[in-house]
A and B are shown apart, each in its own frame.
Chain A
Amino acid sequence: MVHAAPLAPPRPPSRAAPLVKRLFGSPLNAILTVLVIWALWSAAAPLVKWAILDAVLLPVEPAACRDAQGACWSFVVAKSGQILFGIYPIEERWRPMLVSAALLILLGYSLRPAAWRPRLAAIWALVLPTTLILMFGGFAGLSYVATTMWGGLPVTLLLTVTAIGGAFPLSVLLALGRRSDLPAIRILSTLFIELTRALPLLSILFIASILLPLLVPEWLLPDKFFRAMVALLLFAAAYLAEVVRGGLQAVPAGQTEAADALGLGYWKTQRHVILPQALAVVIPSLTNTVIVMIKNTSLVLVVGLFDLISSGKAALADPEWSSPAMETYLFIAAIYFGLCFGFGRFAAALERQTRIDA
């Protein structure tokens, strides 16, 4: 028999046909397509009219908004600075901008397994306090800005990143503790994790803000901002602990046995053999937790801190403008969407690359 060389596949039918076939191929699909197009038309047409056709973008002044039939985007343009950075002094806005950029880069950098070295802990220990100090100011010619003036995007990012950064080592200890053979440690870890996960975050924030002044000496937690940060940190620790525990369970038992056979002790085994594998497995869950924490910081509006949403509300209170609530909240939603979706896509790309390199 002659050895046949591979042939090119037959030419597929034209591009357009499959799409039309999928939309109208079966009776069910045809009905659904018609329904969806009708629904989109009845919903989208007035929406497009409001948001684009009748909308007002320029000039950026209150009079234009009052007369507008459609959306008033001039308000958003005028107030975007306040929404994004709160009532931070305008001349000093470069500081929160810098801080926000630094925190985003730090998050993205830390997700790569290639970066997981002891050096990473040092980087976090350096960057986090530096960002806080930069926000406070009060030295080297930088004016002092109290936490009551902080607001918007930097508050969201600061709370998220410090909560996750601080919670991470604690969560690893909790996860190891929950799997420990020592009963006292196991019970304590389990109690903390289960108690924290049973409570809504809002109640934890609430309890933290009303109870901590009572439980802890004044000098330890002077500030609403830091009380909220502690609450978010403890909350993140409990959830991250469960994520890490899932990763630990996924590592085959044979790994521990091999390490024992080689004479490595408990802590060395965890550090060099088990944890790297466990953490690599749960990168998707870790990024999911980061996205959830970004969204969770929006709750601090209930305890009186100025994140993106409450900054938006404050901007709406300006008596000079007509208070276009929908446009403002859509803008804020777009920011959150950009943050969360962008971070999610970045993490997915990272995961794909990790799998190829592995």
Chain B
Amino acid sequence: MTGQALAPPRVPRAPIAWKTVAAQSAAVALVAALLALVVVTTISNLQLRSIPTGFAFLGDRAGFKIADTVIAFSPDASYLRAIAVGVGNTLLLSLLVCLAATLVGVPLGVARLSSNPLVAGLAAVWVEAVRNTPPVLLLIFLYAVWSQAMPIGGAKEVLPGVLASIRGIAVPKLLVGFPAGGLALALAASLLAPVLAAAAARRAARPGRRRPPYAPAALAAVALAWIAAAALGGWTLEIPHAVGDDLVGGARLTPEFATVVFGLSLYTAGFIAEIVRSGIQAVPRGQWEAGRALGMTEGQILRRVIAPQTLRVILPPLTSQYINTVKNSTLAIAIGYSEFMTVMGTVINRTNQPLEGTLIIVAVYMAINLTLAAFLDLLNRRVQPERR
């Protein structure tokens, strides 16, 4: 019977540690007291200044205009709709900036490690400039440059088909007329193709072999579906032209929107470049040496050994940079773009209900944050290696 594993003995419950209970009760009591004080003061102040309470105001007529809208909005619409427009603007802005900044930031980060001193130096200047400048100053500066650089009473053609004037930027717009069933077909294809391709890939996978890449095939199928639908329905390209400094036709971007997207993208790209650079440098030198010892070229080593490991290292700081971008979108208030905070400012001003307004602000940002964080955490988990 010696050496056999036994079941653990029953241990009596540990005595209650009164000190820790007292400490926690004190902390909770303190917070509760503060909250009580705040609530009492608030109620008395509300009554004193006869401020209305409740969320009924959301249905009231808004009575103000918004320049940039993702969904249709007029001063006759409700406050709720105005807030929705604000949220939509914030999300659109953040998405565009994240995309542009990543596209520019990744090569910029690689450029910083280049052996060419001009390229590396230029990248370093960009990154250092951006790290030591407040972003709001950058936006205000770019906006000032815009007003001074634009010709008075006319428009400038910056790229073929792209016009810029003091009123904004206009790019050529593609108008597609989808035949009745065509749109439905294209949508169905877009949804089905990835699902089918993923299932097929999973079936084809065998242990040890990487899943055959299904993304390119699925993407090709989706693209074909859309092109076919568009070809059947006929399409036109609307090219903008200028009437004085007014821009007619095409897709129009207000100068505020263009400035914020451009400025924040430049700013965020610098930070993403730093993240990418430290990610590449974080891969142990031994990985390079092992690749060289096996006779691989530098390019092969970079692509097959270093880059995949870099991705794992940079994903966490990259995701928090994306979340930061959503927060930075509030800076647009400084040059008048109507993102969420700007709209809420106007709403609170007009309805005189700061309490409810604050709750809405907090709720919206918490919702955006939690969703984004959860999604990016999922991505992160898929990329990290399995541990023992």
Contacts and interface: CB of A to CB of B under 8 A. Distances in A.
Query: Is A–B contact present in the complex under a CB 8 A cutoff?
Result: yes
Interface of A: 19, 22-23, 25, 29, 32-33, 36-37, 40, 181-185, 188, 195, 198-203, 206-207, 210-211, 213-217, 291, 295-296, 298-299, 301-302, 309, 325-326, 329-330, 332-333, 336-337, 339-341, 344
Contacts of B23: 182, 185
Q: Of B27, B326, B345, B348, which is in contact with the most chain A CB atoms at under 10 Å from its CB?
A: B27
Given A298-B134, A309-B136, A332-B137, A185 B117 contact: no
Nearest to A218: B45
Interface stretch (B57-65, B244-252, B355-363): B355-363
A221 to B, nearest CB: 11
A326 B137 CA distance: 11
Contacts of A302: 333-334
B330 interface: yes
A202 B341 contact: yes
A216 B28 contact: no
Say what secondary structure dominates the interface of chain A: helix
Interface of B: 20, 23-25, 27-28, 31, 38, 41-42, 45-46, 51, 114-119, 122, 128-129, 131-137, 140-141, 144-145, 147-148, 326-331, 333-334, 341, 345, 348, 354-355, 357-358, 361-362, 365-366, 369-370
Contact of A211 (B27, B117, B333, B355): B355
A328 to B, nearest CB: 9
B136 A301 contact: yes
Contacts, number: 146
A309 B128 contact: no
Given A207-B361, A291-B132, A37 B141 contact: no
A203 B144 contact: no
A214 B134 contact: no
A195 B369 CA distance: 10
A333 B133 contact: yes
Contacts of A340: 131-133
Contacts of A309: 134, 136-137, 140
A183 B153 CA distance: 66
Contacts of B330: 200-203
Contacts of A23: 116-118
27 contacts: A22-B115, A22-B117, A23-B116, A23-B118, A32-B116, A32-B119, A33-B118, A33-B119, A185-B23, A198-B370, A202-B330, A203-B361, A207-B358, A210-B357, A211-B358, A214-B46, A214-B355, A215-B45, A216-B38, A216-B41, A291-B131, A299-B136, A326-B144, A332-B137, A336-B132, A336-B137, A341-B128
B365 A200 contact: yes
A198 B148 CA distance: 37
A33 B331 CA distance: 36
Contacts of A216: 38, 41
A202 B118 contact: no
Nearest to B23: A182
Contacts of B122: 36, 40
A341 to B, nearest CB: 5
Contacts of A329: 137, 140-141, 144
